[in-house]
Amino acid sequence: NAGVTQTPKFRVLKTGQSMTLLCAQDMNHEYMYWYRQDPGMGLRLIHYSVGEGTTAKGEVPDGYNVSRLKKQNFLLGLESAAPSQTSVYFCASSYGGGLIQYFGAGTRLSVL
Amino acid sequence: EDKVVQSPLSLVVHEGDTVTLNCSYEVTNFRSLLWYKQEKKAPTFLFMLTSSGIEKKSGRLSSILDKKELFSILNITATQTGDSAVYLCAVDIRDDKIIFGKGTRLHILP
């Protein structure tokens, strides 16, 4: 019962470095999402995907890129990390829009 | 502007008490309202509400939606220390817009 798995769990970057966060789901869900959670801000949608090979922007997409080459994987990339991207990142998946989303355990990212 | 407001932001009660958490919303389109419980890590699903007036229950937790007055409540009866968590309310508007409230941090004292 893996559900939604995120790697890594923690990461520290220096300003300007790049990295990729990986999200994998084994529930055959069509939709996948990336959120960031900041204190006092709630969860905010960065990018999402409605199926393999598709991606789209959410509420706060700037500074991030995503790819969904395989249905079960959704990658979030930071090309040039900035301190403002220090946050906890959550991946989620669902069968479709407007339905229950299942979340991964999160990745805590610090950018120095 | 679409918004979801939860209240209170923080609540401390004693074990055995009953609590009511509130979620009000103003959105341009409504598909569903979801409640999640977030302990230390991943938010876990509690309820999904799409129709007014139909109470959903799971053990000591229940929730109801009022689409006329634009709010939902989450009730927890006979609270236990394991209920301590942040409770998140989210309104699903469309594929690229899911608005989460800031959450209610609930702490249950033994």
Per-residue pLDDT of B54-107, as tens digits, reads 999 999 999 999 999 999 999 999 999 999 999 999 999 987 788 999 999 999
Which residues of chain A neighbour B43 with C-beta distances below 8 Å?
A: 43, 90, 103
Name the CA dihedral angle for B95, B99, B105, B106, rounded to a multiple of 10 degrees: -60
CB-based contact (8 Å) between B96 and chain A? yes
Structure tokens at A107: 């990745």
Strands B104-109 and B10-14, how do they pair? parallel
Closest C-alpha to A5, from A98, A93, A94: A93
Does residue A104 carry a pLDDT above 90? yes
Structure tokens at A88: 């906890």
Question: For chain B, what percent of residues have pLDDT higher than 70?
Answer: 100
Rounded alpha-carbon distances, angstroms, from residue B39 to A23, B105, B106: 20, 10, 10
- pLDDT recorded at residue A1: 64
CB-based contact (8 Å) between A50 and chain B? yes
Q: How far apart are CA A99 and CA B34, in angstroms?
A: 9
- Indicate the SS3 state at residue B7: strand
Residue B13: how many other CB atoms lie within 10 Å: 16
CB-based contact (8 Å) between A88 and chain B? no
Hey, what amino acid is at B3?
K
Contact B95 A50 (CB under 8 A): yes
Which residues of chain A neighbour B31 with C-beta distances below 8 Å?
A: 97-98
